[in-house]
Structure 1
């Protein structure tokens, strides 16, 4: 499984900032073959507290804490390796919706963001602002895609 470093620089020793954690992330799960999700950090309230972390379960579809945030590192394998079959005209089998505002950055590879009516190809360096709508990710390439996602609890004002 991917080795994902996590460095937490929030400690104070003798009145100076120190690194309190410098190790591989432990909260890593392979939910489907090759679909690796690492939950890096979360917050439980807004404004966010800086004093501690509460670990939450690593699930295939994120469960962002009410009034909180969720920071995920996601490795998405090619659809063919996942066993996902996307049929034109039918909803993508991984279509889902979260009640969050998501900031997503594609770190490497490429990935289609599939919406109910259309889709777009995302490549390394692309940024997505996902605002609580139905969506799916489809990797139609032969390479893994790595994305970072920050999910923020949100209210739907529509």
Structure 2
């Protein structure tokens, strides 16, 4: 699995469909060692317009008002990030966004942690994240790769 994906964007020129862009994603960040976030596409209205809305690449997403955010994320093992969660304490990366997220695990495995539980996710599993407090915990020895579409929600 690639760490940074290739993005192909179609368009229309003179009434004909074309390949407008074909390149490796350039909006990439590494906010924590090994946590690589590639922002694929974002919009700022619904229904969406065909142009991309450029937004800041952050560790915790800032989905545009009435918009969407498409991310490809590589999450390293917790031990590589130096994350140790004390017993009966919340995971240090717990966070909450005002978004409806469609997340698919492409490779590896990861725990989805919520306030009242957790579950192990593996390649092919899909999460519908509905604005809840959560964290991702990779307790394996290999990176986990997720594909996520985040929609502004209330």
Normalising by the residue count of structure 1, what TM-score does the alignment of the two structures yield? Answer: 0.94
Q: Aligned residue for 2:64?
A: 65
Root-mean-square deviation (CA), in Å? 1.0
TM-superposed deviation, 1:111: 0.1
Q: Aligned residue for 2:84?
A: 85
Matched, 1:29 2:29: yes
Q: Helix, strand or coil for the counterpart of 2:84?
A: coil
Q: What is the rounded CA distance, in whole Å, between the counterparts of 1:54 and 1:139 in structure 2?
A: 31
TM-superposed deviation, 1:14: 3.1
Gap runs ≥5 in structure 2? none
Q: Aligned residue for 2:49?
A: 49
Q: How does 1:8-157 map to 2 (within 5 A)?
A: 8-9=9-10, 11-50=11-50, 52-155=51-154
Q: What is the rounded CA distance, in whole Å, between the counterparts of 2:138 and 2:145 in structure 1?
A: 10
TM-superposed deviation, 1:53: 1.2
Matched, 1:2 2:3: yes
Normalising by the residue count of structure 2, what TM-score does the alignment of the two structures yield? Answer: 0.97
Q: What is the rounded CA distance, in whole Å, between the counterparts of 1:80 and 1:126 in structure 2?
A: 23
TM-superposed deviation, 1:2: 2.5
TM-superposed deviation, 1:93: 0.2
Gap runs ≥5 in structure 1? none
| Greater strand content | 2
Aligned residues: 153
